[in-house]
Amino acid sequence: MLLGFSLLHASAIAQYVGLDQKAVRHLERLIKSDSSAKKQYSELAATADEALNEDPNPIDTIRSEGLLQGDPRKTATWAALADMRKMYDLALVYRVSGNKKYLKAAARYIMAWAATTTTSRGDPIDDTNLDPAIGAFDMIKDDLPAEQTAAISDWLRRTADAELHSPYNRPERATSYNNWHSHRLKIVGEIAFTIGDTALQGYAIRGLKEQIARNLNPDGPSADFITRDALHYHVYDLEPLLTLAIVLKKATGVDYYSWRSPTGSSIRRSVEWLLPYLTGEKTHAEFVHSTVEFDRLRARNGEKTYQAGALFESRNGIPALILAAWFEAALMQPARQVLGTNVRYPTWQSVVNALKG
């Protein structure tokens, strides 16, 4: 326990999940010089201003995975998760403006969740929703009272531990290498580098390399695409892998986007394989040959995204493509094409991409 405490304080200055001071200064210049960047920031600032006068709405247990649309537990979870964007936006606006009212509000939201959502179920599909809170804490952790930093760090560490020791993480289960594990690694990695836990950092790095080998095929498709016959799940694999790869590039300098596993697979290759389905060169009828019963249950429940035979909507792959553009700026061109815009920064992530230099 003492070791974990010392690790936390040894790396308290480093910020790899949220924006660090250099990126914030770059952002200040960018929103003065580019109208589309200013628009993206202004939208976040508006959310932060609204959140100042609102109360946090934490939920004791995040429940979304495995539940059908309309289930009251899922409905309550999604209502509570609106706090995630508020936390991130409050923390960001504090870093840009320096106004302590945003810092206090961000801390109020995160502390409310740390005190309420005390025990993770070890379900990465539920816990993956926490990454805005982790990013928010990363941006303000050095400016919080020590007792708040300790309480929030303890909550996040317990969440990571629950993921590592979850029955869903046993090697004999598909959830130890399918999209669940991609999201598990993302959350554990974000927590690891936010609280400075070197053991968790090592787990995330080793896990990402193993996941690229196990989950991504050398020719591009993911194991989830093969199992679910759906690009929806290929994208759902890539988003957390890309997010973690960005954190690791900033923290370690290693490019895991282009890194090739012993099998020849790579995140880059899997993005390249997806690209023709986003540009319209190829189309795919979703879930036709899915082997997962829950996909059929959702289709019978009337959930549009999971209807067998419905064509994949290219816009649904844009978040993954813009994350990949953090590594390959040229990918913003097809992203803008799909979005039908010529603006330089069509999403907040595209602004974040510009801040890495």
- How far from 186 is each of 42, 304, 329, CA to CA, in Å? 28, 27, 22
C-alpha 144/C-alpha 195 separation (Å) is: 13
pLDDT tens for each residue of 285-324: 999 999 999 999 999 999 999 999 999 999 999 999 999 9
58 phi/psi in degrees, rounded to 5:
-70, 160
**Does the pLDDT at position 9 exceed 70?**
no
Segment 75-95 shows an average pLDDT of 98
pLDDT tens for each residue of 162-206: 999 999 999 999 999 999 999 999 999 999 999 999 999 999 999
pLDDT of residue 356: 87
**Residue 30 structure tokens:** 């960018």
pLDDT of residue 357: 66
Segment 325-333 shows an average pLDDT of 98
Q: Which class for 167: exposed (0-12), middle (13-18), buried (19 or more C-beta within 10 A)? A: exposed
C-alpha 86/C-alpha 113 separation (Å) is: 12
pLDDT of residue 10: 38
pLDDT of residue 7: 39
Among residues of the chain, what percentage have pLDDT more than 70? Answer: 96
User: What are the beta bridge partners of residue 216?
Assistant: 222
C-alpha 52/C-alpha 101 separation (Å) is: 8
**Does the pLDDT at position 13 exceed 90?**
no
Among residues of the chain, what percentage have pLDDT more than 90? Answer: 95
Q: In this structure, what CATH number is given to the domain that contains residue 304?
A: 1.50.10.100
Mean confidence (pLDDT) of the chain: 95
Dmax (CA) of the chain: 56
pLDDT tens for each residue of 103-143: 999 999 999 999 999 889 999 999 999 999 999 999 999 99
Token look-up 């498709």 returns 221
Residue type, 40: Q
* Per-residue 3-state assignment (H helix, E strand, C coil) for the chain: CHHHHHHHHHCCCCCCCCCCHHHHHHHHHHHHHCHHHHHHHHHHHHHHHHHCCCCCCCCCCCCCCCCCCCCHHHHHHHHHCHHHHHHHHHHHHHHHHCCHHHHHHHHHHHHHHHHHCCCCCCCHHHHHHHHHHHHHHHHHHHHCCHHHHHHHHHHHHHHHHHHHCCHHHCCCCHHHCCHHHHHHHHHHHHHHHHHCCHHHHHHHHHHHHHHHHHHECCCCCEHHHHHHCCHHHHHHHHHHHHHHHHHHHHHHCCCCCCCCCCCCCCHHHHHHHHHHHHHCCCCCECCCCCCCHHHHHHHHCCCHHHCCCCECCHHHHHHHHHHHCCCCHHHHHHHHHHHCCCCCCCCHHHHHHHCCC
pLDDT of residue 310: 97
**Does the pLDDT at position 273 exceed 80?**
yes
pLDDT tens for each residue of 53-73: 999 999 999 999 999 999 999
C-alpha 233/C-alpha 69 separation (Å) is: 18
pLDDT of residue 114: 98
121: domain range? 2-354
What's the whole-model pTM score?
A: 0.95
**Residue 42 structure tokens:** 């202004």
Number of domains within the chain: 1
pLDDT tens for each residue of 219-270: 999 999 999 999 999 999 999 999 999 999 999 999 999 999 999 999 999 9
